[in-house]
Amino acid sequence: MLSEKYMAGFIDADGCLGVRCRIGARPDLIFEIAQHEKFAFVTLKPMMDEFGGQVRTVLEKYKSLSMRCGPARKLFERLAKYMVIKHDIALQYMDFVDHAEVIDNKQQLDLYRNIVKEIRKKGRTSPVPNYPSRKWLAGYFDGDGSFSASVKGDRSYSYPVAEILSAPHYSSGIELIQKAFGGVIYTGKDGSKTWKLALTDPSKCIFFLDFFAKHLVEKKAQAYFLLGCAHGGNFRDGKNIREKMLTLHAQQHRLSNPEQVAADYVKEINFNIPKQKVGRPAKRQSNS
C-alpha cells in the first residue's frame, strides 16, 4: 500500500489536477495521472484502489488513471496537505468548485475556464515546508527523478548523478530539495528547470539516499545499488557500475526484491582499484 505522503509526491511530479467546466452544470473536480504500462500495477492500481476512478490505455504502452467528482474530491482532500508543488492549486480548486454556480452560457464558461487556468499557472504562492518529508521525496523522485552513472574520458571512474526535471512554474519542489541537499538548478530554453546532484562523493551519496531510498517504489534498486557502492568507499569500477545501473533501470518494474538484487550487484563491484593520480605528469629533468 502506498502512503499518502508518497502519493502526494508522485502527484506533484506527474499528476494533473483540474476542474471540469460545462454549460448546464456546476464545475467539478477532475484528476488524471499517466504512467508507462510497466508501472501501472505498482503505482496507478494502488491509487485507484484507494480513491476510485478508472485506469485505461491512452497512448501505446501508457495507461492513465482518471477520476472526477467524488473520487477526485476524496483525493484532493486527503492529499493536498502533503503536496508541496500543487498544494495551493488543490485548495483553490476545491474552494472554487464549492462557490461556483451552474454555468448558463458561453461567456460564463469562458470566465470559469480562465479562472482555472490562472490558478494552475500561479502554482504555489504560499510558503513551502522547511524540509521535505522522506515519503514525499520518494514519490516525487519516482515520478520525475532519475539516476545515472556516466564514465568520462580515460579515467574509468563512474560519476553517479541524481536529477529531477521540473516544468515551468512548478519549481518549488526542486528548490526545496536543493535547500536540503545542495546541488545545482539549470533553466532550459523552454523555462523548464533541472536539479542535479553529483553523488561521486560517497558521503554525499549516503547522506542523500539514506534519507528516502527505502520508501522508493520504482527506483529503489538503483538507489540501493548506489548506496552499496558508496558504502564500499568509491565508484572507481566505472564501466561495471554503469552497466549494472542500466540493467537495473531496464528491470526495475519487475523486481520483487530490489534490495537483494542491488546487494548482489554490489558484490560484483571491485572497490580495490587504486586511485589514479590527477594532474599533469612531472617534467623530466634535463641532463645538459
Q: Are 140 and 251 members of one domain?
A: yes
Q: Are 167 and 258 members of one domain?
A: yes
Average pLDDT over residues 23-27: 96
Q: Are 172 and 254 members of one domain?
A: yes
Domain membership of residue 159 (yes or no) is yes
Domain membership of residue 285 (yes or no) is no
Average pLDDT over residues 100-106: 96
Q: Are 11 and 114 members of one domain?
A: yes
Give the chain's domain count.
Answer: 2
Domain carrying residue 163: 136-266
CA nearest to 157, candidates 47, 274, 8: 274
Q: Are 110 and 208 members of one domain?
A: no
Domain membership of residue 164 (yes or no) is yes
Tens-digit pLDDT profile for residues 235-273: 999 999 999 999 998 887 667 899 999 999 999 999 998
Please state, rounded to an integer, the average pLDDT across all residues of the chain. Answer: 92
Domain membership of residue 30 (yes or no) is yes
Element (H, E) at 220: helix 220-232
Q: pTM score, two decimals?
A: 0.91
Q: How confident is the model at residue 288 (pLDDT cuts 50, 70, 90)?
A: very low
Domain membership of residue 128 (yes or no) is no
Tens-digit pLDDT profile for residues 39-96: 888 889 999 999 999 998 888 888 999 999 999 999 999 999 999 999 999 999 999 9
Domain membership of residue 130 (yes or no) is no
Tens-digit pLDDT profile for residues 158-206: 999 999 999 888 999 999 999 999 999 999 999 899 999 999 999 999 9
Q: Are 250 and 166 members of one domain?
A: yes
Q: Are 174 and 100 members of one domain?
A: no
Helix 220-232 with 258-266: angle, nearest 10 deg: 30
Alpha helices in 52-194 (DSSP H): 69-79, 87-99, 106-122, 134-144, 172-181
Q: Which of 59, 89, 122 is the last residue of a domain?
A: 122
Lowest mean pLDDT among 23-27, 33-37, 226-230: 33-37
Tens-digit pLDDT profile for residues 120-146: 988 888 999 999 999 999 999 999 999
Instruction: Look up cell 548506489; give the residue.
Output: 226
Q: Are 144 and 260 members of one domain?
A: yes
Domain membership of residue 96 (yes or no) is yes
The CATH number for 174's domain is 3.10.28.10
Q: How confident is the model at residue 285 (pLDDT cuts 50, 70, 90)?
A: low
